[in-house]
Chain A
Amino acid sequence: MTEVGEEPRADLKRRNNRAWWLVLPVVVSVAFTAVIPLMTVVNFSVQDVFTPSDRIFVGLEWFRSITRDPEVRSAFVRTLLFSAQVLLLEIPLGVALAVCMPRRGVWVSVALVLVALPLLIPWNVVGTIWQIFARGDIGLGGWAVNHVPGVDFNYTLDSTDAWITVLVMDVWHWTPLVALLAYAGLRSIPEPYFQAAQIDAASAWATFRHIQLPRLRGVLTIAILLRFMDSFMIYTEPFVVTGGGPGNATSFLSILLSKIAVGQFDLGPAGAFSLLYFLFVQILCYVFFTVLTRSGR
């Protein structure tokens, strides 16, 4: 018995392990793009850096001060709220858009190009477009809101207006991504599912709820992860449109972080901040992913 059981193991030993060398390029490139920069940040986060040669080890001091910093805390809540709103708006909107897009015919390509258009615009250009578009004096959008319904709208002065501007901009920019993912998911549903729904006299809503939505789980998981990560780390667009203001109304974590790191050059606190930031995104993505895939079983 034991002999028989051991034979395959002996066989395994005889094999050489030279194939591991093939992994080396990946290890090297990941080391240079991710691990080494991250370690630099770890290195900064536990030291008080005055000059490159003059630094002292401070242990977890920066982590303690960052987590207690009221400005960081409020930025954290603000960013979390922003991400939640982004997800709540973009996911349903994107799915709705995808459902409305034609399934076949010449209009498919037209619809795809039109929907994908915002995705092709660079982030800072999106910021610039909206910075102008939402202005009350020369921006079409801002002017229309001020004059057609007659609502007083000024994103440079009113914090709610600024928040709405950034949110609407993000929805405009990124709903297409959700829509394209959802559209791809919808297209992969075989025709007989819809035929069966017709035979079962399912309403359009029931068809969506019981056929389309369950089969979108995979792509929506990806869409939610992407949109969460991206919106939680949003930087360029609010930086261009509002610069984090008015006051602190739109200073999200990334804007605050760059202020600490690049503006004030506080490398220690910035390092600790970055690590916590990174950790939180990782954990939340893990939670999202687990919950979404588990619920499907």
Chain B
Amino acid sequence: MADIRLEGVGHSYDGGRTWAVKPMTWTWRGSRAYALLGPSGCGKTTLLNIISGLIIPTVGRVFFDDRDVTGVPTAGRNIAQVFQFPVLYEEMSVYDNLAFPLRNRKYPAKEVDQRVRQVARLLSLEEHLGRRSRRLDAGRQQIVSLGRGLVRSQVAAVLLDEPLTVVDPALKWTLRSKLKEIHRDTGHTLVYVTHDQTEALTFADEVVVVNDGAIVQAGEPAELFLSPAHEFVGHFIGSPGMNMLPAEIVAGVVRIGPSEVGLAAADGVHAGRSDVEAADGLPAGPVRIGVRPEFVVIGGPRRSPGVAATVTGTDRMGAYDLVHTLVGEHPVLVKTEAGALHEPGSAAFLHFPAERTFLFRDQVRCGSLAPLDGRSTA
């Protein structure tokens, strides 16, 4: 239940030419459930393997609390790791699988038995202990591989690398709640790697979004959804992802072409910029507007602030409709309630609500939209 601290940790598979994980400093706090979310190949698994010691990072140091474990081999780290597919000692029984890590560490037979039964009870595997592990279904096999990690005392962290990939969708829910339950009961630090945002958002206390070898944002699920700090987070989280539109800041006003959509309000804090820059508002120049389809208002009164658009089609999704529009030549999706009538080819008017609309420069958030009338009253 230790804090796991990465200090300047980075890894390169080709001697420093490209970074699979860019040097980063980050702490996984004890007893929390983290989801490591990102697209395939973004460095999630590498990051996980650095924690478990399967990979020694090219640069930086890894600490479990105050103990420097950078050079400590995997076996010495007390990590439980579950892989994408069940990794079992297939010719062994479930019992022997669970006992294997303990026997390797020369635990006395009595304690082995006691611990195995304890973990079997925790994971509801008691009635399967005598079975050959390869005969279990994939979901149970994953549970057994998890059990092999949990059976040891003082597990520093449980690392799960897309553990539900091979599991039937119907069973995924059951297993995920099982995992949550285990987390609640044991209080282990949990890092759950996934590229499935639903999995991440429903599972974790804190979601860490990784892209291109770097952590782009970390926070509670709602925070990532409502307040993305990076264009990638906007795209990646939410279904469909955030709309992105090129715009321009002219004298503190955000414009798309000739239309004014709101005031530019800087927030240097989220973007990690200095407050000096933030204090004076945003400098003029091109900017990208990000707004989620959920928050775009379509069909309001045709007056500023707002922008004219052309409807190109509607997807009926059942519970809601997805209206496709074009602003200039840039697509903007709008989520509306089911049954709304927006004829393809018809003109529409879009409002971007302040607070929910953000401004990005170089993919990083630099500000948000403020109500335009705020200026006129001032």
List A contacts of B104 (CB < 8 A). 200-203, 206
Count how many pairs of residues, one from A and one from B, have CB atoms less than 8 Å apart in the complex. 55
Q: Is B75 an interface residue (CB 8 A)?
A: yes
A-B contact pairs, 24 of them (CB 8 A): A195-B52, A195-B74, A195-B81, A195-B87, A196-B81, A196-B83, A196-B148, A198-B54, A198-B73, A198-B74, A198-B75, A199-B52, A199-B149, A200-B75, A200-B101, A200-B148, A201-B75, A201-B104, A202-B100, A202-B104, A210-B91, A210-B100, A211-B89, A214-B89
Mark contacts of B185-217 with chain A using CB atoms, 8 A cut-off: 1 yes-contact digit, 0 otherwise.
000000000000000000000000000000000
Cβ of A60 to closest chain B Cβ, rounded Å: 46
A192 touches B87 (CB 8 A): yes
List A contacts of B73 (CB < 8 A). 198
A195 touches B105 (CB 8 A): no
List B contacts of A199 (CB < 8 A). 52, 54, 74-75, 79-81, 101, 149
Cβ of B88 to closest chain A Cβ, rounded Å: 8
A167 to B120, CA, bound (A): 52
Mark contacts of B205-233 with chain A using CB atoms, 8 A cut-off: 1 yes-contact digit, 0 otherwise.
00000000000000000000000000000
Q: Which residues of B contact A (CB under 8 A)?
A: 49, 52-54, 73-75, 79-81, 83-85, 87, 89-92, 100-101, 104-105, 145, 148-149
Which of B74, B85, B92 sits near A192, CB closer than 8 Å?
A: B85
Q: Which 7 A-B pairs have the closest CB atoms?
A: A201-B75, A192-B83, A200-B101, A196-B87, A198-B74, A201-B104, A210-B89
A199 to B48, CA, bound (A): 13
Mark contacts of A174-198 with chain B using CB atoms, 8 A cut-off: 1 yes-contact digit, 0 otherwise.
0000000000000000101101101
Q: Which residues of A contact B (CB under 8 A)?
A: 190, 192-193, 195-196, 198-203, 206, 210-211, 214, 296
A193 touches B87 (CB 8 A): yes
Contact A201/B101 with A210-B91, A211-B89 known, Cβ cut-off 8 Å:
yes
20 more contacts with CB within 8 A, not counting A198-B75, A210-B92, are A190-B85, A192-B83, A192-B84, A195-B52, A195-B81, A195-B83, A196-B148, A198-B53, A198-B74, A199-B74, A199-B75, A199-B79, A199-B81, A200-B101, A200-B104, A200-B148, A201-B75, A201-B101, A201-B104, A214-B91
List A contacts of B149 (CB < 8 A). 199
A211 to B92, CA, bound (A): 10
A200 to B150, CA, bound (A): 11
Cβ of A130 to closest chain B Cβ, rounded Å: 39
Which of B53, B92, B145 sits near A196, CB closer than 8 Å?
A: B145
List B contacts of A202 (CB < 8 A). 100, 104
A193 to B148, CA, bound (A): 13
Q: In the complex, which residue of chain A has the Cβ closest to the Cβ of B105?
A: A201
Interface centre among B84, B85, B91, B145 (most CB of A within 10 A): B91
